Structures are given as structure tokens and as C-alpha cells.
Copies of this chain bind each other. A is one copy, B any other.
Amino acid sequence: MKVDNQHVQQKVFDSAKKLLFTRGVKGWNTDMLAREAGLAKNTLYKIIGSKEQIVEAVAMAQVRENAESAASFLQTEIDWADKQKSLRAVRTALERFTANMSRFEPVVLPQIYLQYPGVEVKINALVKDLTLLAHDFFQQAKDNGFIRPEVDPEVVMDMVRAMVAHYIQQGADKSQFEDRVKKAFDYVLQGITA
């Protein structure tokens, strides 16, 4: 974004987000975005370089929001000594993570990836940090006897990634995505806890 005006930038961002959520990726163009944001097209182009750039900005912000919420859980102190309490905490966090994702990832993200493959690369890079945090978290859970000692954290991470990717590729809708990912996470959790 080129023009250094917080308010106008925010307006463009919010308008693009609204269009993405209501019309998908292909159902709008920059003329409509200018109208939605109440800007002349000239002014809009001083703020965004292209449709791809603003779509990328919205997608990154959305995924970053979910990733940060997940990251903050992964870094909280868990009372591992209380098995029931820690199981509840992990289950609640997984449910929130799934619910957060279901608003954006399964429906809008696949369209974005199809249209702008470059965005997928950047989102994957963004999610990489989360993987490292999750890895530490699993190690902690293992060290504290929450997860069975022989469980391979790499494989568990792969399972989480694979399930999310599977339902995104399947084009599952919001409630299907939430329901199935929740069940899958639950089976994995039951399969790895001590």
C-alpha cells in the first residue's frame, strides 16, 4: 500500500475483506472495491498496487489472526499434573482453532490459492513458525507424560496439517469443515494421550 493514511487504508482493507467473504475471489473487481470503499479509482490505485496485493493482505491478516491465537495457547503454562484439566484445555484450544479456521480457510482460501498461487507460498511460510511452537508444545506434553512416550511429534503435526489440507481441498463448507476437523483432532488426541 502506497498512501500513508491509516484511515483510508483500513477502509480499503475492510471493503476488500467484505467483498472476499460475500463474493469470493472472482465475484468483484477493483471498480467495485473503489465504490465499496467510497474512493475514486485513481485514489484506490495509489493505495493498492493490484487486486492480488489487497487479496494477499486480507488473506495474510486472516491467517495471522488465527495463527496468533493458536500461538498464544501453545505458549501458555499448562498444569500437566492435572490430567483432566490439561486434556480439557487442549481440547478447548483445538476447538477454538478449528472454529477460527472454519470462517475463512475452507471456503475463501482455496479460491485465493487457485487464482494467486503466490499467496499460498507466503501463507505456508507464515504458518511455519506455528509449526515450531506446536513442536515444542508436543515435546513438553510428552515430557510431562500427557502424550505416550513413543509418539512422534512430527507425525502428529503432519496429521493436523494433512487433515486441514484435506478438507480445504475437498471444498467442505464451514459447518462440515468444523465438524469433521473437530472429530479428526479428537481421534488423534485420544490416540496419542497416555
Q: Which residues of A contact B (CB under 8 A)?
A: 151-152, 154-156, 158-159, 161-163, 165-167, 180, 183-184, 186-192
Q: Which of B158, B184, B190 is close to A158, meaning CB atoms less than 8 Å apart?
A: B184
Complex: A154 Cα to B180 Cα, angstroms = 9
A192 CB contacts on chain B under 8 angstroms: 187, 190-191
Complex: A53 Cα to B193 Cα, angstroms = 48
A184 CB contacts on chain B under 8 angstroms: 155, 158-159
Say how far A155's CB is from chain B's closest CB, in angstroms: 5
Majority DSSP secondary structure for residues of A touching B? helix
A166 CB contacts on chain B under 8 angstroms: 158, 161-162, 165-166
Q: Which of B151, B159, B183, B189 is close to A152, meaning CB atoms less than 8 Å apart?
A: B183
A165 CB contacts on chain B under 8 angstroms: 162, 166
Complex: A167 Cα to B155 Cα, angstroms = 10
Residue of B nearest to A170 (CB): B158
A190 CB contacts on chain B under 8 angstroms: 190-192
A180 CB contacts on chain B under 8 angstroms: 152, 154-155, 158
Residue pairs across A and B with Cβ atoms less than 8 A apart, 13 shown, are: A152-B180, A155-B180, A158-B167, A158-B180, A158-B184, A159-B159, A159-B184, A162-B162, A166-B166, A187-B191, A188-B188, A190-B190, A191-B191
A158 CB contacts on chain B under 8 angstroms: 163, 166-167, 180, 184
Query: Which of A151, A159, A186, A189 has most B Cβ within 10 Å?
Result: A159
